[in-house]
């Protein structure tokens, strides 16, 4: 089975640095498929690399002491543990969109926070606290503090505000997925976003 790239997923380079895939892009002249990814350290530089090279195996002739099989392997950003292809952490739904907690929304060109059809009014003040929170740490604090008051439609709005997709499922699992994303952002990106 061919490996699948997960936009929004975190990948460990074989030299042990962490990156987040932002998207797949195409060279305007050659139409070559490229991966756009960002370092989760230092200056948080953004890079582009040919897709095939990004997905390739480590050159074990050149780097005989490297245990990692692939140049970049998807990992859980909190534990740096590899996400096994066998676990099928990523599922592709019938629309060929990826359902995964760390996935960036493909249709996030319009970042408006349109209310879903279901009414959210009962918890609007808690939702407002989340949306108005400055930075990932504050959002995480609101999520943890008021988790018993959130509903599925509210989780959808919160995910939209972060430009991610939280897979459908039980509310507690969706809140946990959102918490993990916020923890990862707090750990790896939070410090460089503070004024």
Within the chain, residue ranges assigned H as helices are 51-55, 124-132, 135-145, 152-162, 171-188, 190-193
How many other C-beta atoms are found inside a 10 Å radius of the C-beta of residue 50? Answer: 14
Task: State the span(s) of the chain assigned CATH 2.30.30.320.
Answer: 10-89
Q: List the chain pLDDT tens, one digit each, 195 residues.
A: 578 898 888 999 999 899 999 999 999 999 999 999 999 888 889 999 999 999 999 999 999 999 999 999 998 877 777 775 433 333 333 343 433 333 333 333 333 333 333 333 444 578 888 888 888 888 888 898 888 888 888 888 888 888 888 888 888 889 888 888 888 887 766 445 444
Q: Cβ atoms within 10 A of the Cβ of 149, count?
A: 13
Spatial CA neighbour of 138 closest among 166, 158, 109? 158
Q: Which two tokens stand for residue 33?
A: 């498929």
Architecture of domain 10-89: Roll (2.30)
The reported pTM is: 0.46
pLDDT for residue 28 = 94
- Rg of the chain on CA atoms, in Å: 18
CA distance 132 to 127: 8
pLDDT of 24 reads 93
């Amino acid at each position: 089975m061919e490996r699948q790239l997960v936009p929004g997923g975190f990948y460990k380079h074989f030299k042990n640095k962490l990156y987040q895939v932002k998207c797949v892009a195409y060279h305007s002249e050659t139409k070559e498929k490229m991966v756009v990814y960002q370092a989760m350290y230092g200056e948080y530089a953004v890079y582009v690399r040919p897709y095939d090279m990004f997905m390739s195996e480590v050159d074990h002739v050149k780097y005989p002491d490297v245990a990692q099989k692939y140049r970049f392997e998807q990992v859980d950003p909190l534990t740096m543990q590899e996400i096994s292809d066998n676990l099928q952490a990523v599922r592709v739904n019938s629309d060929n969109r990826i359902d995964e907690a760390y996935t960036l929304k493909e249709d996030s060109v319009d970042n408006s926070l349109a209310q879903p059809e279901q009414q959210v009014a009962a918890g609007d003040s808690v939702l407002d606290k989340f949306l108005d929170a400055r930075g990932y740490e504050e959002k995480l604090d609101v999520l943890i503090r008021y988790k018993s008051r959130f509903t599925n439609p509210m989780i959808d709005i919160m995910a939209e505000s972060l430009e991610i997709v939280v897979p459908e499922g039980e509310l507690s699992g969706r809140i946990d997925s959102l918490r993990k994303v916020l923890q990862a952002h707090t750990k790896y990106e939070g410090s460089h976003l503070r004024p």
